[in-house]
């Protein structure tokens, strides 16, 4: 089975969405889709390597009312998103 470059795995702090290697707008679109499946208050960690994600993901979170913190991690960006209450 071929890898799509994106996976969603459970982690201690919530869910992990590995969007490294994907180009804009895919990281934010995949995050939006995954967040839609999670309950309010759930945490989604997104890993992305596309420089535009540094703008797109926090902007999306602000527009939707989600909390988002950003950090650098081993050559990629790490976004910790807490889904807003419904």
Would you put residue 41 in left (φ > 0), alpha (ψ -120 to 50) or beta?
Answer: left
Segment holding 53, helix H or strand E: helix 53-64
**Distance separating alpha carbons of residues 60 and 63, to the nearest angstrom:** 5
Residues belonging to the active site? 24
């Amino acid at each position: 089975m071929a890898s799509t470059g994106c996976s969603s795995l459970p982690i201690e702090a919530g869910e992990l969405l590995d969007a490294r290697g994907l180009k804009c707008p895919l990281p934010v679109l995949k995050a939006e889709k995954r967040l839609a499946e999670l309950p309010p208050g759930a945490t989604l960690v997104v890993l992305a390597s596309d420089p535009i994600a540094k703008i797109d993901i926090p902007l999306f979170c602000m527009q939707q009312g989600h909390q988002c913190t950003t950090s650098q991690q081993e050559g990629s960006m790490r976004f910790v998103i807490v889904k807003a209450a419904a």
